[in-house]
Structure 1
Amino acid sequence: MTDSGANPNDWNAFVEQWNEQFMSAVEQNMEAQVQFVESWADAVGEATEENELSEGVQGYARAYETWMDASEQMADRMTDALEGEDVDAEEFRDIWLNTANDAFKDVMSTTAFARMTGETVGDVLEAQQQADEAAESTLRTLGFATESDVVEVGDRLVELERRQHDVERKLDRVLDHLEDE
């Protein structure tokens, strides 16, 4: 039937595999965009200053353009594959990974994201301090040594060693003076 020896069933299986991969990539793209939008909304949601909000929107717009460029790259590579070019499946993965990195950089470089991150770190540090204080209070109530108790004992030992060295130096001077006489 054909001179090339190509089996139409193989071609159909090949096209079906690429269609499945393409649809999977599109689905992953949509999921990544949803996650990205949620991340962005969290980052700029609390921005009260108009400049921060405007910058956040611009960061999102840049990230959106990055995602759209990746979609175009995917479509181009898919076309190349359908036209017979040998396209490695890892290339599709790399496009999405690089795009995700670039898009998140676009959002994370905004003042709104920095502000949100700073507030979150501050909240975590405050919660950690409260947990440390509660733990120390509980340990003290139970009669156990706390971190501050151990630090205090260590400070006292260092002071005692310093004083001991002072006494040893004075004693050495007294002995030297007695030997000289």
Structure 2
Amino acid sequence: MIYPITAYGDPVLKEEAQDIQQDYPNLQELIDDMFATMYHAHGVGLAAPQISKSIRLFVIDSEPMMDEGDEGKGVKKAFINPEILEETGEEWGFEEGCLSIPGVREVVYRPERIVIRYFDQDWNEHTDTFDGMTARVIQHEYDHIEGILFTDHLNGLKKRLIKNKLSKISKGEVDADYKMKFPALAKKR
């Protein structure tokens, strides 16, 4: 099943998501659907709040973000109840976008390395270190389950410059090549 992507402005994107239990209903199906939804929208990560589920779950496939020569070094996996334990290294800038905020891309600075504890889709616990682009994708998706959007990392001037675009997105005045759910349109019904 392909889910509609929840657009900027929906309160679920600003909530801190809740941990889930091992008996969460149809979890494997949800993870499969999240990967399908992410690929359908040409994304490299998707967090559960982006499909209106306020739970601590996200999926990533960082392979498309790998530089030439780093092919095959991407990571494809689900992260359940993750917790970033450490962020280290020099902060580096990269232009990020978000499926919930189509048409907006801005440079965000993030530390180059993370240590994260999480459960995989088979409920095996891991503590892993990631760096570079994979760390960035994980940090972006992790922010989603913390109620943080990439636009929250921007300075005041940048935020003011994109304010109109964000307002239009929340009202459904945006072109995306995937199905979206808009908060302002839901209120009108």
Q: Which has the larger helix fraction? A: 1
Same fold by TM-score, threshold 0.5 exceeded?
Answer: no
- Please identify the structure whose Cα radius of gyration is greater: 1
TM-score, normalization by structure 2: 0.21
Q: Which has the larger strand fraction? A: 2
